[in-house]
Chains A and B, each alone.
Chain A
């Protein structure tokens, strides 16, 4: 069963966002489960300007590839090197050790609450 922590915000593209200074985002349990075993992550470089709703990376599993969309506009201040090294962290702990990108946010894209996201993915 997929889980959606109440303290996070979500996007229809299946990213989660922990708002803060900086904010952190990753992909949801639902997305990680649908992809299967993730074997490769391509994340934006630190210092890159990313834009809400735009592609900022790639997530590759044995069976498929997905684009990573940024839920926010801002500057990348950190990426999860441990997850790049061991992408299975995204499957095992998508909201924790499997986080992907930290951003100094200037603008936020459209976000959903946990309840809205749960309704969106129908679980």
Chain B
């Protein structure tokens, strides 16, 4: 038995088809890649994972849980009840000072000064050529205070870029990654679970949090930034706490969640959940060869952001992204539903039809058998002519064509 998953030749036992999960070959063109260090960093929850019997895997310089018992069981628990994730490998960068918002408006493609205190925004850090250096969630935690959350693999580059792009602003940039633990509770039972261990004075506010908002609250006796965000397609929370408090919070959530069906969940489930939800993954759908528009995320580029006098606000990548916004795309990110049983995986060629393996019309960025839907799903960049929903294409799965159909994204939407 030999592992043949496409992009991976180095880590057969933890092989995956993407880069937010382990064993990935990052794009060769990316400068935003941190090489695997010989001794990976440990999450503040490392001992908890070991005690729970997790399969650990090197990922972006960290040793993180791939799964605790079963990928499928963890995936289903998040869809039906709740899952508990350790995301302490993510980077947390504090941007504060009188010009914090202005500095971020210049550094990022979004309009961060327009984000109210207590709100979060999905945005991107782009290069001058418009390509994506990282996708980010930015929380406005105060009038002059923002928390930028970066992918682990890009955290160092994001920190360096923010510092370099902010030199003419009155702003302080601090890397809080090492001292911050991030734990996510995701799933339909998340609210019951988190509020059950929230301080009485904070329960209503935490329960009423809307999607992409956050607040300071006391959970399990710990002062936490509690945000209603996630990467699974389910309702849920992400809790930022001091690394020293991570174990207390983790254990309290496991205990409170157990009667609700909560289980600890690893990176494997996280990846299959986000794929079903049609969410892009840096290193797969996004990299230094893609613009936000390529990924269907042109809306995050705020070309209308303006200076006080109404002049267009200059931000890094503006000229390239304006040009991209005005032009026809050369490729389109689509969803593919597999009509056979063999799954398309990251890097596989998309071809025009099952009998034309030679006629390549695109490339798969992420793919897996969907645990929730029961058939293979994939995201792929294809040429615009074949991007219409319903178009029948095929994927070259290790030399044999598997029929697929273009479908709308996301593949899965949670019941309202």
User: Which residues of A line the B interface, CB within 8 A?
Assistant: 13-15, 27, 31, 33-34, 36-37, 39-40, 42, 58-69, 91
Residues on A with beta carbons closer than 8 Å to the beta carbon of B12: 34, 64, 66
Q: B342 and A59: CB pair below 8 A?
A: no
Which parts of B46-81 form the interface with A (CB within 8 Å)?
55, 66-67, 70-73, 75
Q: B71 and A62: CB pair below 8 A?
A: yes
New A-B contacts (4) at CB < 8 Å, excluding given A14-B1, A60-B369, A62-B268: A34-B12, A40-B343, A65-B398, A66-B1
Residues on A with beta carbons closer than 8 Å to the beta carbon of B166: none
Question: Can you report 20 A-B residue pairs in the complex whose CB atoms are below 8 A from each other?
Answer: A13-B1, A14-B1, A15-B1, A36-B71, A40-B343, A59-B1, A60-B369, A61-B71, A62-B72, A62-B268, A63-B17, A63-B66, A63-B368, A64-B17, A65-B3, A66-B2, A66-B4, A69-B1, A69-B2, A91-B70
B21 within 8 A of A: yes
Q: Using A62-B272, A62-B368, A63-B368 as known contacts, say yes or no to A13 and B342 having CB atoms under 8 A apart.
A: no
Q: Using A27-B1, A37-B72 as known contacts, say yes or no to A65 and B345 having CB atoms under 8 A apart.
A: yes
B210 within 8 A of A: no
Q: Using A62-B272, A63-B21, A64-B17 as known contacts, say yes or no to A37 and B2 having CB atoms under 8 A apart.
A: no
Per CB-CB distance, the 9 closest pairs between chain A and chain B, nearest first, are A34-B13, A64-B15, A37-B72, A64-B5, A14-B1, A36-B71, A39-B369, A62-B71, A13-B1
B99 within 8 A of A: no
B408 within 8 A of A: no
Residues on A with beta carbons closer than 8 Å to the beta carbon of B272: 62-63
User: Which residues of B line the A interface, CB within 8 A?
Assistant: 1-5, 8, 12-17, 21, 55, 66-67, 70-73, 75, 268, 271-272, 341-343, 345, 368-369, 371, 398
Q: How far is the CA of A15 from the CA of B1 in the complex (A)?
A: 7
In the complex formed, the residue of B with least CB distance to A14 is B1
Q: In angstroms, how far is the closest chain B Cβ from the Cβ of A13? A: 5
Residues on B with beta carbons closer than 8 Å to the beta carbon of A66: 1-4, 12
Q: B1 and A63: CB pair below 8 A?
A: no
Main secondary structure of the interface of A (DSSP, over half): strand
In the complex formed, the residue of B with least CB distance to A28 is B1
Q: In angstroms, how far is the closest chain A Cβ from the Cβ of B121? A: 31
Residues on A with beta carbons closer than 8 Å to the beta carbon of B369: 39-40, 60, 62
Q: How far is the CA of A14 from the CA of B14 in the complex (A)?
A: 15
Residues on B with beta carbons closer than 8 Å to the beta carbon of A15: 1
Q: In angstroms, how far is the closest chain B Cβ from the Cβ of A11? A: 8
Q: Using A36-B268, A37-B72, A40-B369 as known contacts, say yes or no to A64 and B16 having CB atoms under 8 A apart.
A: yes
Q: How far is the CA of A59 from the CA of B398 in the complex (A)?
A: 13
Q: B1 and A60: CB pair below 8 A?
A: no
Q: How far is the CA of A64 from the CA of B346 in the complex (A)?
A: 11
Q: How far is the CA of A63 from the CA of B13 in the complex (A)?
A: 10
Q: Using A36-B67, A42-B342, A58-B342 as known contacts, say yes or no to A65 and B5 having CB atoms under 8 A apart.
A: yes
Q: Using A13-B2, A39-B369 as known contacts, say yes or no to A63 and B71 having CB atoms under 8 A apart.
A: yes
In the complex formed, the residue of B with least CB distance to A91 is B70
Q: How far is the CA of A67 from the CA of B369 in the complex (A)?
A: 17
Residues on A with beta carbons closer than 8 Å to the beta carbon of B398: 58, 65
In the complex formed, the residue of B with least CB distance to A69 is B1
Residues on A with beta carbons closer than 8 Å to the beta carbon of B17: 63-64
Residues on B with beta carbons closer than 8 Å to the beta carbon of A31: 1
Among A60, A65, A68, A91, the one with the most B-chain Cβ atoms within 10 Å of its Cβ is A65
